[in-house]
């Protein structure tokens, strides 16, 4: 018996190729292209992210420096503030902050470095300085405080020191004119005296901070700003030929030179510091975190004007201001 032939099944042309998978070469090319695209996207993201971090760090440093310099300007301008009061006898026109025995003989005083006895000194007159070095400077400022030139509590009656603590009231017997007899007679007056000591200290966490220690009810210092690495000060001295009441500055000296400058040697220390007509400040701030990508980008110009290699990848900027001592009397 004859077996019939099986029908022939026709296949579409190219079906073999259609069922075939990718070759190894095609797969590798696809992977490489995918990796290149992914790498490009990641690079763009990281670049934009780092640029945003740098911009944020710069903005934060500028904000901190602006706030700190505003505070220092206010304090320095008030140094020596001790206004005349109405209805006082001529010899007692001012509260006894600086005149006569007074509270202190200094309106402003500084050190190249941090005061040796910063916490122990009872008042600005007792502060002592270390040997000059490269450490951040320190600055002490005094003035007669009232509810109008400082923050205050108790309904605005009690002024606060730079750390936010209430100042102790001082009492003085002062001759005032009787409005009826127009004859001076002693009366007790209450006044306040503020002393602010600014310096840089590094905490146990390694963060350098600008601090202020006041003379209020507590001796605890307050943080003015974090990440302040340097605080350099120069003092503008009155020209020897300046007319009375003039603020013409002959030049600027560091604190250590106040004791060695030839024109000042014949003066007592309080009289030397009374010649200060302006203060030149430099603050060196750093970013809280490392934000630049290499050591060259981290280089900065310090307070002396020198280009310095940074010890890490943080940003650093120096901020400067010159402030007149308006409270000089």
Give the range among 80-89, 278-287, 298-307, 314-323 with minimum mean pLDDT: 80-89
Nearest to 214 by CA among 271, 275, 166, 248: 166
What percentage of the chain exceeds 70 in pLDDT? 89
Calculate mean pLDDT across residues 104-129: 96
For 39, the token pair is: 């790498």
Is pLDDT of 205 > 80? yes
Single pTM value for the model: 0.82
**Contact present, 228 and 72 (Cβ < 8 Å):** no
**Contact present, 162 and 149 (Cβ < 8 Å):** no
pLDDT at 13: 54
For 84, the token pair is: 């005349």
Residue 128's contacts (CB-CB under 8 Å, 6 or more residues apart) are 115, 116, 117, 121
Tens of pLDDT, residue by residue over 124-155, are: 999 999 988 889 999 999 999 998 888 888 77
For 80, the token pair is: 């020596």
Query: What spatial distance separates the first Cα and last Cα of the chain, rounded to whole Å?
Result: 139
Is pLDDT of 160 > 90? yes
Calculate mean pLDDT across residues 187-199: 94
For 5, the token pair is: 């032939």
When pLDDT is cut at 50, 70 and 90, the band that residue 295 belongs to is: very high
For 223, the token pair is: 């943080």
What's the CA gap between 302 and 116, in Å, rounded? 25
Is pLDDT of 21 > 70? no
What's the CA gap between 304 and 293, in Å, rounded? 25
Give the range among 170-179, 196-205, 214-223, 240-249 with minimum mean pLDDT: 240-249
**Contact present, 280 and 108 (Cβ < 8 Å):** no
């Amino acid at each position: 018996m004859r077996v019939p032939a099986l029908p022939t099944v026709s296949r579409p042309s190219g079906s073999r190729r259609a069922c075939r998978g990718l070759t190894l070469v095609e797969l590798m090319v696809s992977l490489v292209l995918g990796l290149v695209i992914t790498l490009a996207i990641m690079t763009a993201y990281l670049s934009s992210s780092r640029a945003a971090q740098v911009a944020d760090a710069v903005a934060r440093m500028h904000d901190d420096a602006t706030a700190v310099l505003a505070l220092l300007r206010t304090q320095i301008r008030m140094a020596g503030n001790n206004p005349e009061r109405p209805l006082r006898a001529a010899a007692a026109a001012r509260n006894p902050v600086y005149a006569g025995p007074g509270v202190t003989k200094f309106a402003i005083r500084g050190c190249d470095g941090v005061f040796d006895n910063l916490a122990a000194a009872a008042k600005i007159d007792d502060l002592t300085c270390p040997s000059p070095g490269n450490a951040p400077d320190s600055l002490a400022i005094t003035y007669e405080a009232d509810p109008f030139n400082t923050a205050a509590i108790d309904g605005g009656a009690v002024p606060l020191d730079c750390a936010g603590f209430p100042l102790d009231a001082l009492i003085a017997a002062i001759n005032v004119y009787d409005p009826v007899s127009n004859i001076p007679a002693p009366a007790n007056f209450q006044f306040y005296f503020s002393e602010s000591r600014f310096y840089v200290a590094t905490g146990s966490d390694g963060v350098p901070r600008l601090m202020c220690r006041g003379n209020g009810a507590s001796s605890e210092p307050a943080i003015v700003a974090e990440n302040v690495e340097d605080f350099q000060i120069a003092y503008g001295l009155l020209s020897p030929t300046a007319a009375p009441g003039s603020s013409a500055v002959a030049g600027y000296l560091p604190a250590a030179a106040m004791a060695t400058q030839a024109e000042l040697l014949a003066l007592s220390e309080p009289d030397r510091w009374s010649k200060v007509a302006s203060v030149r400040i430099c603050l060196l701030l750093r970013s809280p975190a490392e934000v630049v990508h290499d050591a060259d980008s981290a280089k900065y110009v310090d307070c002396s004007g020198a280009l310095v290699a940074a010890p890490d990848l943080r940003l650093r900027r120096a901020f400067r201001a010159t402030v007149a001592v308006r409270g000089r009397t």
